[in-house]
Structure 1
Amino acid sequence: MTDLQSDPRKRLLELSQERGASLASLSELLGRNASYLQQFIKKGSPRKLEEGDRRTLARALGVDEVELGGPGDASQEKSYAQSPSRESTEWVEVARLDIGASAGPGAMPASEAAFDAFRFSRRWLAEQGLTGAQLSAITVEGDSMEPLLNNGDEILIDRSPRAFRDGVHVVRLGDTLMVKRVAQAGAGRYSLLSQNLSYPPVDVSAEEMEVIGRVVWKGGRI
């Protein structure tokens, strides 16, 4: 028996840390309570992962089942891959919202109704550190974030509640949505920065701005 097979708990913990996926979010992916995998790793309960849970985790983390205590049987993997029951667990649908986030002087949002959806594999999301993320997709409007974000690009927003850190965010100022690089400026103030240097920085207070979510991916025509 290999070291990976003999210590799946240690390997699961390593993988969750490498992928940036918390044990709680992976537990929720399995439809379990948030402490399920924590108890599995720290307390040895359950003694081993159920077959379906092991397969779901292996797919989400992008590894072979053998690393999580599975038999590593290629024929079993093939049978599982062909099972229609995997359809609901293999993919995550992300709503495309009927909203534009201005990368220019500012735009009023339309409705927040979903008109379509993207489908992302759970494995890809795990590789991006987005397991359990609260994602939605909106469209960039304007040129102030060029060349990073172009007019018409679609961006994924992670709305998961977490401590703020500098980066590209969608923010709301009054009734206006904007996508900007947001940096803390001290004393409860923030700078909204454009990639296009034709647009000057905008200084706002924390009370004026609501952070909707962090931009974690973009897609658009070449």
Structure 2
Amino acid sequence: MDKVQIRRENLRRWAEKHGTPSKERSYFSQLINGNSSFGEKAARRLESDYGMPALFLDTAGADFGTSPRIKVIARDPDDPNFVEIRKVRLKLSAGISGFGIEVTEEDGNPITFRKEWLTKNGYDADSLIAIRVRGESMEPALYAGDVVVINTADREPKDGQVFAVNYEGEDVVKRMMRDTGEWWLHSDNADQRRYPRKMCRGNECLILGKIVYKQSENI
């Protein structure tokens, strides 16, 4: 099935379980039966308005009983002094500054921080997400399997700092370097022939946020 067919099927399943909202009965029917356009904006609006899980309508075979809601951050119900930053996968498109997320429960428990740590550093919990590092390009600073927290509110490049970047539709973690009047994506790995620097310019290189924390089992 293509994406629109998946949306129609998931909306049909959702309506069967929860009922069709009376104020939008006709609209739901048109969407399900293919008589109305079912684009990105309509899908996200329905998910938000009716409490569906994040990207539920776009996910083939989505489970609306157990999938997380759209909020990435979940506060510890037993202690209000802590927040949990859930680990996610990023869904990117080349040249598009926004991104979708998919919570990855198989990656283990969320990372827990004291609220005072966020306050001290001026972080907004709703702007923090965590991803798992892939590849060897950032060794020895970061290893494959390490988890890093991204502050998506901080997208201003800073010389020598590490950022998550949408590079041609792929999420990469690189050190930003300023040289010859340009910004470059630099890998920490000493094998620069294997991991050459890449220019960060225009829509092919969009900063997602600054790396503010790492969790690693490598010493």
The equivalent position to 1:97 in structure 2, one of 88, 97, 104, is 88
- Partners of 1:190 and 1:206 within 8 A in 2: no
The equivalent residue for 1:169 is 163
- Correspondences of 1:1-222 after superposition (within 5 Å): 87=78, 89-99=80-90, 112-116=101-105, 117-127=110-120, 129-133=121-125, 134-161=127-154, 163-166=156-159, 167-185=161-179, 187=181, 189-198=182-191, 199-222=195-218
| Cα distance in 2, alignment partners of residues 155 and 98 from structure 1 | 12
Measure how far apart 1:130 and its partner are.
4.0
CA distance in 1, matches of 2:101, 2:116: 28
Tell me how far apart the structure 1 counterparts of residues 151 and 210 of structure 2 sit (CA, whole Å).
Answer: 5
Residue range with higher mean Cα deviation, 85-94 or 174-183 = 85-94
User: Which amino acid is 1:170 matched to?
Assistant: A
List alignment gaps of at least 5 residues for structure 1. 1-84, 101-110
Q: C-alpha distance in 2, partners of 1:99/1:140?
A: 12
Where in structure 1 do 4 or more consecutive aligned residues deviate above 6 Å? none
Residues 147, 216 of structure 2: 8 Å contact kept: yes
Q: Is the 8 A contact 1:122 1:131 kept in 2?
A: no
SS in 1 for 2:190: coil
Distance in 2 between the 1:112 and 1:86 partners?
Answer: 23
Local SS of the residue matching 1:213: strand
1:171·1:210 contact (CA, 8 Å) conserved in 2?
Answer: yes
The aligned residue for residue 47 of structure 2 is: none
Contact kept? 2:88, 2:103, Cα under 8 Å: yes
Greater share of residues in helix: 1
